[in-house]
């Protein structure tokens, strides 16, 4: 695999996902914003807003390169004089509180020595679901779809990467409360004696291609559910937790900012409406409390 192969993959899947989401929304279209990074590279930010189904969402690709700064070296926990990174990152925030927010990204890194030789390279990625009201059928479908994508490569991958997802998307400052019901998450997948770079490339492609299969059926089942102002209020509170994770813990956000990435694209993941209230606690035995119970103790959905 050459890095150009991964670039083609993320550009193709960006087009596929945006087209499918536009068709599902039926009103809003993605706006395209091409940008250049000071220091090397750039990307294509595609944003949808104020639609029938999707209140705000972004599907972004980036291809960046440059010098490894001290801050970036610390963030990567790897040594190199210069770097190359490309990836696709998406976050979709629907209007209806019964339709979950979803996040996914797939990325590839290379590090070089002073003579431009590759000294390290790896893949990362995954997808996770953040419901505001728990519908177990939807969580099972999301997880099952990614298990089907993982299993042909190794039956141990789904449970391993599912656990890594549960351990990563956690607001530790909120009593180890998970951001959502998880999915899969992997990072630093390197070629070794057991797996070639092509193997991990094919694995990334399989999971990228599983995204629409995992998410669109959930949107179609829930987008016409009726909801109340109280449920919108709860959605905004939970979106506040989403913001907290992205700004405090998320490695992708931190990498983007420390690598002098485009701030507008990096913070695209933040929802348009959000609420922070002091010591908000849901009623006993409510649907809201049911969600929090699952977020405190990750569940095996399959």
CA–CA separation, 57 vs 142, rounded Å?
19
Dihedral over Cα of 268, 272, 273, 278: its sign: positive
Catalytic option among 93, 103, 141, 143 = 103
- Is 195 annotated in the active site? no
The sign of the torsion formed by the CA atoms of 165, 179, 145, 52 equals: negative
CA dihedral 7→13→17→23, nearest 10 degrees, is 120
Active site residues: 103
């Amino acid at each position: 695999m050459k890095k150009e192969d991964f670039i083609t993959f993320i550009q193709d899947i960006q087009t596929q996902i945006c087209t499918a989401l536009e068709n599902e929304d039926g009103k809003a279209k993605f706006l395209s914003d091409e940008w250049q990074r000071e220091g090397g590279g750039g990307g294509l930010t595609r944003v949808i807003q104020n639609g029938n189904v999707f209140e705000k969402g972004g599907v972004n690709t980036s291809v960046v390169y440059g010098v490894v700064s001290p801050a970036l070296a610390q963030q990567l926990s790897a040594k190199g004089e210069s770097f190359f990174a490309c990836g696709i990152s998406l976050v979709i925030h629907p209007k209806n509180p019964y339709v979950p927010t979803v996040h996914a990204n797939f990325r590839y890194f290379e590090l070089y020595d002073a003579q431009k030789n590759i000294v390290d390279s790896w893949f990362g990625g995954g997808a996770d679901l953040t419901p505001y009201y728990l519908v177990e059928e939807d969580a099972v479908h999301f997880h099952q779809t990614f298990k089907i994508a993982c299993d042909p490569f190794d039956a141990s991958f789904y449970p391993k990467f599912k656990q890594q997802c549960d351990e990563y998307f956690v607001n530790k400052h909120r009593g180890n409360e998970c951001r959502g019901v998880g999915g899969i998450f992997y990072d630093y997948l390197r070629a070794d004696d057991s797996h070639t770079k092509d193997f991990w490339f094919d694995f990334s492609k399989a999971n990228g291609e599983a995204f629409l299969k995992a998410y669109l059926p959930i949107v179609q089942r829930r987008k016409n559910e009726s909801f109340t102002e109280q449920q919108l209020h709860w959605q905004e509170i939970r979106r506040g937790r989403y913001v907290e994770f992205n700004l405090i813990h998320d490695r992708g956000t931190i990498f983007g900012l420390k690598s002098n990435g485009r701030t507008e694209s990096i913070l695209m993941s933040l929802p348009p409406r959000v609420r922070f209230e002091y010591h908000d606690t849901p009623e006993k035995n409510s649907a809201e409390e049911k969600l929090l119970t699952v977020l405190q103790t990750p569940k095996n959905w399959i």
